[in-house]
């Protein structure tokens, strides 16, 4: 059971880091710095997805059910009506 908590904790931390990287990239004016952070973010995303697949395969994480096409259309309409 300890492994489950450790995996979920790492996933949570990685997800938080991804949000931070996005903010840094959005504000970076130096192209070389921006590219470096993008590369780090891409590696972090790959790690996150690989760990997610492990967590899911071991039953540590159960994703939400897939949205129906109608639910997707409803959400899409909500966002496109406001633009």
d(CA 13, CA 66) in angstroms, rounded, equals 25
Cα 55 to its chain centre, rounded Å, is: 14
Q: What is the pLDDT of residue 82?
A: 61
Q: What is the pLDDT of residue 62?
A: 80
First-last CA distance in the chain: 46
Q: Are 1 and 7 a contacting pair, CB within 8 Å?
A: no
Taking only the tens of pLDDT, the chain with its 83 residues reads 699 999 999 999 999 999 999 999 999 999 999 999 999 999 999 999 999 999 999 998 887 889 999 999 999 999 888 65
Ranges of each domain in the chain:
2-81
Q: What is the pLDDT of residue 83?
A: 59
Q: What is the pLDDT of residue 1?
A: 67
Q: What is the pLDDT of residue 61?
A: 81
3-state secondary structure of 10: helix
Q: What is the pLDDT of residue 44?
A: 97
Q: Are 24 and 68 a contacting pair, CB within 8 Å?
A: no
């Amino acid at each position: 059971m300890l492994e489950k908590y450790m995996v979920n904790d790492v996933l949570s931390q990685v997800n938080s880091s991804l949000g931070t990287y996005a903010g840094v990239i959005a504000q970076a004016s130096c192209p070389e710095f921006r590219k470096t952070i993008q590369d780090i973010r891409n590696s972090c995303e790959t790690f996150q997805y690989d760990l997610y697949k492990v967590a899911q395969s071991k039953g540590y994480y159960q994703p939400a059910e897939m949205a129906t096409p109608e639910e997707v259309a409803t959400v899409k309409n909500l966002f496109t009506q406001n633009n």
